[in-house]
Structures are given as C-alpha cells and as structure tokens.
Structure 1
Amino acid sequence: MTTNKKAILTSGITLGLFALVGVVLLVVVQWFTKDQIIENQRQTKLQRLQEVVPASLYDNDMLATISQQSLALKGLGSVANIYTAKQGDDVTAIVYEVVSTQGYSGPINLLVAVDQQGALTGVRVVTHKETPGLGDKIDTNKSDWILEFVGKSLENPTEALWKVRKDGGEFDQFTGATITPRAVVNAVREVLKFHQVYYEASNNNDYTGATRLMPAKADPAGNN
C-alpha cells in the first residue's frame, strides 16, 4: 500500500513538473513573439484600410490617426473607430470601423470609407460569423457583392433606396440569405447619414472635426 502511495505521489509530482515546464515555455514563447504578433496585426489592419481607400487619396499613416466616436445609430454598436486619410494637410477621406448588430449569426465588423464628396470609396467586412455558402458572400473572398458600394452616396441612390431589393431598395440580396446583406446595407447607410451630419457640423465642411474626436486608447496593433 505504501509503495502504491509513493508511486502515485511520484506520478503526480512528475505531471506537475511537466505542466509547470509547459506553462513556462508558453510564457517565454509569447514574450519573444509579442512584438511580431503586434506588427502582424498592424499590417493586417493597414492592408484592410488600403483596400477601402485608393492609394491616390492619401500619403499618411492612417493607423496613426485612430480616434473613437460614440454612436447612437440604428443597428450599430455604440462606438466607432475612425481613421483619417490625408494628402499633406488635406483630409481626403474618413474611414469608419463599425459593428453591425443585425447579422444573422452575430456581429459584423465593417470598414466604411467616405470621401470629401460624401461618396463611398470602399466597404469591407473585417470579421463576421455568417453562414458559410449563404451569408458569407459579404466577404470578398466569396463574392464581389460588397464592391458595388463604391461610388454610392445618400444621393446615389436616394436614401429611400438604401435597402435590399426585397425591401424595395436597390441592393441585391443573396439567394436564401436576406438578413446578412440587409444588415450590411443598413450599416453603410447609417454611416453615410452620420458622416453627412458630422461633416456639415465640422467647421464649414473642412473636415477639421475629424481631428477633434475622442482619442482612442493606445493600441499599437490598430485593433478595437
């Protein structure tokens, strides 16, 4: 009996030591790869921003301009990350990172870029949990559907047509999936409406308001 107890105790100590070594190794690996992970996240976010703002519209580091704005918009989360595209000292576009709460399977994180004329230069889905083969067509890896927003504004089409076709609007829905594209269309429309009011209220339409937003907490990776 005593021998069995010693064997069990020895096994327990051995397993404990292995677990401790594993934890230490994990911490060490995370410590040495932390900077690389942050840089990878930064590059991923920068690539996304470059997809929605043409290179001809900016010469600044958009990630360095991140700020936050509280929102009270239908179907969107309460906070938006905002990035400013500039050429020299001139603001050429604003990028809104927002979260639609109207997705079929969960939140849909979006980048919506608007130029000086109030027209969209690009829209991209950053993250989502929509149904594979149906709602995931909002992703450019699955279809070109989201590219149809480029050049659109509250005047093209009129605000009344900022809906999917099933609801009497101009934008296509997906076969077997209406909720997901409806959520994206609604989110983009709400951002355009917010941008229009915010832009008109920002010092005689010169975009200077874009630099007066509440600063975001420091995040070298440029994440939420």
Structure 2
Amino acid sequence: MQLLTSLRNSSLALTLFAVVTAALIAVTQVTTEQRIANNEREQQARALYEIIPKQRVSNDLLSSGFEFVSYELTGSAEPATGYRALQGDDVIAVILPAVAPDGYNGRINLIVGINADGSVAGVRVLGHQETPGLGDKIELKKSDWILSFNGTRKADNPNAWGVIKDGGQFDQFTGATITPRAVVKAVGYVQDYFAYNRASLLELADTEHRDATRQEPN
C-alpha cells in the first residue's frame, strides 16, 4: 500500500509539474511574441518617420496603411501595405514597399516615399544580404548614399536614372556596382508605379477621410 501511495503521489507531482511548466512556457511565448511585435512596430514607425518627419504630417502613419498589389514592386502577387501621409485632408506623400530582386547577394527590401508632386521623399533599406564593407553602404548607418534620392524625380530626366557607370546620376560604390544599380532601378519602378496610379494613391477612402479629420497633429 505504501508503494502504491508513493507511486500515486509521484504521478500527481509529475503531472502538476508538467502542467505548471506548460503554463509557464505558454505565458513566456505569448509575452515574447508581443514584445517582438511591439519591437517590429517601433522599428517600422521609425523607418516611416525617417522618410516623412512627424512635423510634416497630421496623421499617424502606421494607422494609415492601405493594401495594394504590384508584382513589379514587391515580387509577389500577395497584397502589400503602403502608407499615406496627410496634412489635414490632403495626401502629401505615400510610402510604398519595394523589392530589388537583383542585388549582389539576393533581394534588397526597401521602403520608398513619394511626394504628391512625384519627387522622392526618401528611401530606406529594411533588409539585405549584401557584402559588408561594400554593398552594405546602401544602409544609412554605413553611408549617406541613400539620401541622394531625396528630391529627385525620374520623369525630369529618365535617361539619367541610373548609376554613373551606366551614364546616370547616382554614384556607385568602389568595387560594388551591382548593389546600387539594383536599388536605383527599384526606386525608379516605384516612381513609375506612382505616376501611373497617382490618382488612386492620393485619394482617401471615406473611412480614411473621417479618421484623418479626427487625428490631432503630432
């Protein structure tokens, strides 16, 4: 009897331990996922506001997302999310994701801001696998090269939209031309997409208009 009682108590203890352990793992997982999601949201907001500074807009950029589909820009037939920047009731710029598929080591993920007049508000690289010390100069923390897009407009001189080696206006990197060439081409595609879809990109849906009028300036 004592043996049975001991086995029963051990079994109950193991069961309780397993339940408590499983609960702790579940709580940790949920907490970690929420922390990761919050960090990703903060990083995303930081990148958006680097392109369109808060003082320029009267809305929350992260809350002004809209879906669009463009295989040419994103390399996918799935919906992607763009963002509208507002001043009052007017859309002053949009920020669109884009992929340069032909980087030296693969895809380069970007976001590109386009002002209402078609000029580039800014470009930021969100992810890449380019060679450290060479292709990674597309990152703002490594070089200010990415700022050379600010205020440019492909439509002003389409033949100059390329790197200098190809007869264009943008510098290439010493020992690394493929990477900047890929980024320049991708930013050009975003401008083409904006020019073709300008009316719809700058038009607010009724719900967006109502939400925008309720936003307080940042």
CA distances 1:186-209 after superposition (whole Å, capped 9, x unpaired): 00001001101101x53xxx821x
Q: Structure 1: 5+ residue runs without aligned partners?
A: 1-17, 213-224
**Change in CA separation of 1:98 and 1:81 when aligned onto 2, cut-off 3 Å:** farther
Question: What are the equivalent positions in structure 2 for 1:1-224 lying under 5 Å apart?
Answer: 25-73=24-72, 76-78=74-76, 80-156=80-156, 158-199=157-198, 201-202=199-200, 207-208=202-203, 211=205
Per-residue Cα deviation, 1:143-192 (whole angstroms, up to 9, x for no partner): 00000100001234x11111111111111110111110001000000100
- What is the TM-score with the length of structure 2 in the denominator? 0.78
Percent identity over paired residues = 45
Question: Which residue type is aligned with residue 93 of structure 2?
Answer: A
Check conservation: 2:74, 2:97, Cα contact below 8 A.
no
Looking at structure 1, the residues matched to 178 and 23 of structure 2 have their Cα atoms a distance apart, in angstroms, of: 46
Deviation of 1:21 after TM superposition, in Å, equals: 8.5
Per-residue CA deviations over 1:69-94 (Å, capped at 9, x if unaligned) read: 22142x75135421111122211100
The CA deviation at 1:106 is 1.6
CA-atom RMSD in angstroms: 2.5
Cα deviation, 1:39-74, whole Å, max 9, x if unaligned, reads 22111100000001133321211111222222142x
- In structure 2, the gaps of 5 or more residues are 1-16, 207-218
Shift of the 169–37 alpha-carbon distance from structure 1 to 2, 3 Å rule, reads same
CA deviation after TM superposition for structure 1 residue 22, in Å? 7.6
Q: 1:167 to 1:60 in 2, by over 3 A?
A: same
Moved more, 160-169 or 28-37: 28-37
**Inter-partner Cα distance in structure 2 for 1:23 and 1:122:** 47
Partner of 2:13: none
| TM-score, normalised via structure 1 length | 0.76
| 8 Å CA contact 1:81, 1:98 repeated in 2 | no
Larger fraction in helix: 2
Larger radius of gyration: 2
Cα 1:77–1:22 change in 2 (3 A) is farther
1:197 maps to a residue whose letter is Y
Q: Please say if residues 83 and 94 of structure 1, whose CA atoms lie closer than 8 Å, have aligned partners that are also in contact.
A: yes
Residue correspondences, number: 189
Change over 3 Å in CA distance of 1:25–1:163 after alignment to 2: same
- SS of match in other structure, 1:102: strand
Partners of 2:39 and 2:87 in 1: how far apart?
26
Distance in 2 (CA, whole Å) between partners of 1:148 and 1:104 is 20
CA distance in 1, matches of 2:33, 2:173: 40
Residue type of the alignment partner of 1:123:
V
Q: What one-letter code is carried by the residue in structure 1 that aligns with 2:67?
A: Q
Residues 97 and 110, structure 1, Cα contact 8 Å, conserved in 2: yes
CA contact (8 A) 2:93 2:113 kept: yes
